[in-house]
Amino acid sequence: AGAMAAEALSRVPDVEIDGGGVFKYVLMRVRAAGGPGKDVVRGHGWAEYHGEGRGLRGGPLAQQGLVCECLGGGRLAHRPQEKKIHVYGYSVGFGRADHSVTTEKLKAEYPDYEITWANEGY
């Protein structure tokens, strides 16, 4: 089961965010039970609360034997026409994500973007 979960972990995208707009995001650590993990960024405009962006409770990740831990949240301002993403703010329920980690994940996914972050704002 461990090898299957590790393979499932390798298929989990590092970044899944909406194509544009301002929306909440969460930084999560996904790991195979008892195994190594990786941090992933999820942000969607349809998620009214940060917890909805996780999709954890009985979701597809849990069904693949993966465990998710929310490390915090914030907001993303994604401006695709300008090739810019600004990471800021915090989650009332989960606290502030480490925006520097989020920024590195986004830079890997969007190498031609200008990606900035700040701890100010909500």
- Residues 53 and 33: their CA atoms lie apart, in Å, by 22
Residues annotated in a binding site: 24
Structural tokens at position 27: 């930084």
Helix or strand holding residue 114 (H, E): strand 114-117
Query: What is the number of residues in the chain?
Result: 122
H helical segments located in the chain: 2-10, 60-63, 99-109
Identify whether the C-beta of residue 60 lies closer than 8 Å to the C-beta of residue 52. no
Structural tokens at position 10: 């390798």
50 belongs to the catalytic site? yes
Q: Which of 50, 78, 86, 99 is catalytic?
A: 50
Identify whether the C-beta of residue 88 lies closer than 8 Å to the C-beta of residue 53. no
Give the catalytic positions in this structure: 50
